[in-house]
Structure 1
Amino acid sequence: MLGAPVPPDEAARLLDLAQYHILDTAREEVFDRVTRLAARFLRVPVAVVNFVDVDRQWGKAMVGLDDSEAPREYSFCAWTILGDAPFVVPDASSDPRFMHNPMVTGEPHIRMYAGAPLITPRGHRIGTLCITDNKPHPLEEEDLRALQDLAAMAVNELELRSHLQRMQSQMSAQVEQAEDLRQRLEHARTLQAVHDLMDLPLTLEEAVREAATLIGQAIQADWTGLITFENGQPHTQRVYGQPDLHPVLFNLAERLNTAKQSVTHIMEGLNTPFYLDTYRDHPDALPAVVEAGLQAAAWVPLGTWEGKTLLMLTLRVGQERELPWRGSDRVLLEAAGRSVRAALNERAALQAAAQAARQDALTRALNRRALDEDLEQLEASGANYTLALMDLDGFKALNDTEGHAQGDKVLRLFAQALKVEVGDQGEVYRLGGDEFVLLLPEVVEEEDVYEMVDVAVPAAQQGAISRIGASVGVAQSSAVERSADVVKLADVRMYEAKRRRKDAQNQVEV
C-alpha cells in the first residue's frame, strides 16, 4: 500500500487549514447539507467533507458513515489534494495504491472513490468533498462537475464560518488584522523551518528546544520554556528569554520547579493549546510572578516521548494588551504543536522498529546484529572493554529429554537473570541456540564475570529437571587489535573451559 506524497506547499497548506479552526469541532448543518446533496445527486451511499491534517484525515460532515478519521497513509483524500481536478479511483480493489488499504479490505469497504479538493481563496487544497461506493459506480463528466460545484459550496461555507468566528471573537480591529496579515508569511516560514528542523539528525531534546525557540521568537514572546512531565511532576527549562526581563520572570523555570502548585502543574493532560489572557486572575497564579509583570501565558502540547508529556510555555509581560494572543499567534502555535507531535510519533515508530531489529524475539536479549553494531562503536571509540562468550552445558540433552518448549523457558530464564545481574554495567546478547555474549564497556576481572554467570545459572536451572551449567570464555579488548579477535579469543577460552569441565567429569566417573 502506497501513502500519498506530501504536497510541495505543505507548510502553507497546514497553516491555511489551521486558520479555519475547523478540526475536531462538532457537526454543523451547513456542511451536513453539502454531503446530503452530494449523496443524493450522485446516487452514492457515502459522501464526506474531509480535511487532511499533518498525519490524519478528519471528517466534518458525512452521510453513510459515523466517523471518517483515519491515518493519512490510508487516506484516499491525501491523494486528492495533490491536484486541482477531481481524483477518481474506479476500482480500489484492483488499484496497486489501494488494494491493501484497510478501508478497502475492511470497513467501509471502498470500491469506487471520487473526490474534489477543497481549494481555499489562497490556493491551498486543505481537504475534499468525496463520495464512495462499495460496488462499481461509473461517473460521468457531469457528475464530476457537480462534485466540484458542491466542493466550492463547502469552501464558501467554510469562509463564511471563518468570517463569523472572527467577528464573534472581536478580532475586527483594523490594526490587529493588519498585523495578522503582515505576519502570515513570516509564520509560514517559521512553520516550514520547524518541519525542516524535526528532520535534522538532532537529539530529541535539541530538536524540540530549537523548535520552541523558533516559535517563541516568531510570535515575539518575551519568554519561552519547555516543560517535561514525569510521574505527574513538571520540570521546566528556559529556552528563550528577553535579557531585560524582571529576574523573577527570566528565572521562572527555577521557580516553577520548586513550586508545589502553579497553573503549569494542572496542564499535564492538555490536548489543545490553553491561552490565559490575564494570568493574575487564575486561582493558581504565583504572586511573585504577577508582581513581576506577567500578563498572559500559553501552554502548547507537543506530544509524548518515552512516557513523558512535553509542553511549550510561552509568556507575554509588560504593558497590558487587550488581546495578548493574536489570531495569527494562535494559528502558528496550533499548527506548530501538531507538527512537533507528528514528528515525535514518527521518531517513536522508527525507534521501536530499530529496537525490534536489535532484539532476540525469544529471550528479549539483544541479538547478533546488535552485538556487531555495538562492537563497531566501541572499536571506533578506542575504549577498552570486556567480552564473555558462553553456552549452556547440558542444553542439548535438556531439549532431547524435556522438549524444546522447556528449553526455550530455560533460555529466557538465563537471559533475564543475567540481565538483572549485569544491570547498567553492560549488555546481554543471544547469538543463537544456547550461545550468549556479555559485553562490559570497561575492563572487568574474570572472577567478577564468573560470579555474574554463577548467579544466572541457578535461575535458569529452575526451569528444567536436567542438570545444566555454563562454559564461559572471557577476553579483554586490550589483549588483541580488533573486535573480531576479541570474539575469537573468548571463543577459544570458552571451549577450553568446556573441555576442562568434561575432563573433570570423566575423572570423577573413573
Structure 2
Amino acid sequence: MLPAPVPPDEAERLLDLAHYHILDTGREEVFDRVTRLAARLLHVPLAAINFVDVDRHWSKSMVGYDAPEVPRNATFCAWTILQDTPLVVPDLTQDVRFAHHPGVVHEPHVRMYAGAPLKTPAGQRIGTLCVLDTEARTLGDEDLKALQDLAATAMSELELRNHVQRLQQQVSAQAEHSLDLQRSLAHAHTLEAVHELMDLPLSPEDAARQAAGLIGQAIHADWTGLVIFEDGRPHTQRVYGESALHPVLFDLAAHLNASHTSVTHRMEGLTEPYYLDTYREHSEALPAVIEAGLQAAAWVPLGQWQGKTFLLLTLRVGQERELPWRGSDRTLLEAAGRSVRAAFHARAGVEAAIHTARQDALTGALNRRAFDEDLEQHQVLGSAFTLALMDLDGFKALNDTEGHAQGDKVLQLFAGALKAELQGQGEVYRLGGDEFVLLLPEAWTADDVDEVLDVAVPIAQQGCLGRIGASVGVARSAEVDERVSLPELADARMYEAKRRRKALRAGQGS
C-alpha cells in the first residue's frame, strides 16, 4: 500500500484533534450508535469512526471488526483526510494505492471503501466515518449523502462532548475555587491564631511546637513535627500523627533521631519552604519510610533562636495525589513560617534590648538594675542564695596615679575573672565604680568566696603597677530579718573586713 502524503496544515490539524481529548478514551454509546446506523443504512459489514493521529489511526467506534489502532501508513483514512468530499473506492484491488493492503490481500479481503472526513469548525479534517465491504460495489448519491450526514452527526456529538467537558471543568473549577475560598478563610483564622500564639509568654520551643500543631491541623496533614537543629544535628519531635499511621511513620521522630542521614538532615540551612511531592524519588529517602507509605513531605523554616534552627516538618501519606500540596496549603505554610520567623526576630530584638539595658557597658557584667530585679526574684521565689558584696582596695589611688584608662582595664579584668571562676554558677554585677556583687546559688561560705577572689584579684593586678586588693562581705538569704536587708548586711561585713585589713596594715607598719 502507498502511504498517504502529510497534509500541508498537519500541525494545525493535530492541534485541533488534541483539542477534543478523544484519543485513547473508552467506548461511548453515542458514537457506537452512529457506526451501527452507517452499517445498517449502507448495508455493509464493517464501519468505524477513526481519528488520524501523528503516526496511527485510532478507532473510537467499530462495527464488524476489532482493530482499534493501525499504523498511519497502512490506513485508507489517511487518504480521506486529504479532501473535503468523501473518498470512495469501489474496488480496492483496482486502485494502485490500496491493492497490496493486507486487508485487501488477506482476510477479511476488503473490496470497497468509502470514507467521509470529520471536519471541525476550524476546517481541520481530524478523522473519518468510514464503511467497508467484502464485495466490490459502488455507492449511489443517497448512500453518499447518508454517509456525510452520519459523519456530520458524529462531528456534532464530538463538539457536544467537548462542550460538556468544558462545562464540567468550569463547574469543577468553580467548586474547587469555592472550596479554596473556604480553605483560605480557615487558613486566615489559623494564621491569626499563630500570631496570637507567638505573643504568649511561651518559650520559643513551646511556641514553635504549638504553631506547628495549629498549621498541621489546618492543612489536614497526616503527620506534623518540629525539627530543632543544634550543633548541626536535627532533633525531631512529633507534634501530631494519625493513630492509623504505619508504626514506622507514627514513630518517625525516633527513626529520624536515630538516623545519621536523611532528607531532613540536609535542611538546616533552609530559607524557603521545600516541598517534596514524591518522597521515594529522593536519593536520601529512608527505605523503611518509603515502605510505610510516605508520599510527600514539606519542610518550612521557622527561624533561629540562640543558635538553634527550627523547622516545621509535615507529611502526606497513602494514596498518591497529583498535587499533594495545594496552593492554599503552600500559602498557609509560607505565611505561617514568615510569621513565626518574624516573631522570633522581634523577640530576639526585645531580648537584646533587655540584655543591653541590664548590662554594664564597661565590664560586660550585669548592672545595678539587673541586680535589683534578680535579687527581688530570688526573694520572691524563696530559694536559698548567697550575696557577696566587694570592692577593690587601692582603686582610687590607681586612678589618681595611673589614670582612668588603666583603672577601666583593671575593672574589666576583675569582672572577667569573676565570671570565669563562677563558671555559670551565679551572676556577677557591677553596682558602680569599683563595687561588685555576686549572687550565688545555695549557701556559699566566706571561704568559698575568698577562693574566687584569690584568682580574680591577681588577674586584675596584671592591669596596673600599683598594688590592689579586695574586701568582701558575705550574707546568706537565711540571715535576712526585718531590721536589716541582705545588701545592708553584706555591706556592713564588707566594711568591717576593710577596717580589719587597714588595721592589719597599720599594725604591720608600726
CA distance in 1, matches of 2:186, 2:481: 56
Partner of 1:263: 263
Give, as a single letter, the amino acid of the residue that structure 1 aligns with 2:228: T
Q: How does 1:310-349 map to 2 (within 5 A)?
A: 310-349=310-349
Q: How does 1:483-502 map to 2 (within 5 A)?
A: 485-502=485-502
CA distance in 2, matches of 1:194, 1:240: 16
Partner of 1:276: 276
Partner of 2:376: 376
CA distance in 2, matches of 1:340, 1:497: 53
CA distance in 2, matches of 1:450, 1:291: 64
Give, as a single letter, the amino acid of the residue that structure 1 aligns with 2:403: G
CA distance in 1, matches of 2:350, 2:290: 43
Offset at 1:174?
Answer: 6.2
Partner of 1:224: 224
Offset at 1:175?
Answer: 6.1
**1:363 counterpart = 2:359:** no
Aligned length: 339
Query: CA offsets, 1:465-487, max 9 Å, x none?
Result: 10000001001110113697110
Q: Give the match's secondary structure for 2:424.
A: helix
Partner of 1:416: 416
Give, as a single letter, the amino acid of the residue that structure 2 aligns with 1:453: L
Partner of 1:439: 439
TM-score by length of 1: 0.65
Give, as a single letter, the amino acid of the residue that structure 2 aligns with 1:419: K
Offset at 1:424?
Answer: 1.7
Give, as a single letter, the amino acid of the residue that structure 2 aligns with 1:272: E
Partner of 2:196: 196
Give, as a single letter, the amino acid of the residue that structure 1 aligns with 2:209: R
CA distance in 1, matches of 2:305, 2:252: 24
Partner of 1:404: 404
* C-alpha contact (below 8 Å) 2:359/2:365 kept by paired residues: yes
CA distance in 1, matches of 2:269, 2:378: 41
* C-alpha contact (below 8 Å) 1:176/1:326 kept by paired residues: no
Query: CA offsets, 1:121-141, max 9 Å, x none?
Result: xxxxxxxxxxxxxxxxxxxxx
Query: CA offsets, 1:440-468, max 9 Å, x none?
Result: 02111211111011110000001011000
Offset at 1:334?
Answer: 0.6
Partner of 1:506: 506
Q: Give the match's secondary structure for 1:466.
A: coil
Instruction: Using CA pairs under 8 Å that are at least 6 residues apart, name the structure with larger relative contact order, 1 or 2.
Output: 1
Give, as a single letter, the amino acid of the residue that structure 2 aligns with 1:489: L
Give, as a single letter, the amino acid of the residue that structure 2 aligns with 1:326: R
CA distance in 2, matches of 1:196, 1:317: 30
CA distance in 2, matches of 1:267, 1:483: 60
CA distance in 1, matches of 2:347, 2:393: 42
Offset at 1:231?
Answer: 2.1
Partner of 2:114: none
Query: CA offsets, 1:161-181, max 9 Å, x none?
Result: xxxxxxxxxxx8666544323
Give, as a single letter, the amino acid of the residue that structure 2 aligns with 1:384: A
CA distance in 2, matches of 1:405, 1:383: 40
CA distance in 1, matches of 2:273, 2:473: 58
* C-alpha contact (below 8 Å) 2:208/2:310 kept by paired residues: no
CA distance in 1, matches of 2:200, 2:488: 39
Offset at 1:195?
Answer: 1.0
* C-alpha contact (below 8 Å) 2:390/2:494 kept by paired residues: yes
- Percent identical among aligned pairs is 70
Q: How does 1:91-490 map to 2 (within 5 A)?
A: 176-481=176-481, 485-490=485-490
TM-score by length of 2: 0.65
CA distance in 1, matches of 2:423, 2:458: 18
Deviates more, 1:235-244 or 1:288-297: 235-244
Offset at 1:203?
Answer: 1.7
Higher gyration radius (CA)? 2
Q: Provide closer, same or farther for how the CA distance between residues 176 and 292 of structure 1 changes in structure 2, counting only shifts above 3 A.
A: farther
Q: Give the match's secondary structure for 2:423.
A: helix
CA distance in 1, matches of 2:256, 2:208: 20
CA distance in 2, matches of 1:193, 1:230: 28
Q: Give the match's secondary structure for 2:474.
A: strand
CA distance in 2, matches of 1:477, 1:212: 43
* C-alpha contact (below 8 Å) 2:457/2:469 kept by paired residues: yes
Q: Give the match's secondary structure for 1:271.
A: coil
Give, as a single letter, the amino acid of the residue that structure 1 aligns with 2:395: F
Q: Give the match's secondary structure for 2:227.
A: strand
Q: Which runs of 5+ in 1 are unaligned?
A: 1-171
CA distance in 2, matches of 1:182, 1:385: 57
CA distance in 2, matches of 1:211, 1:405: 51
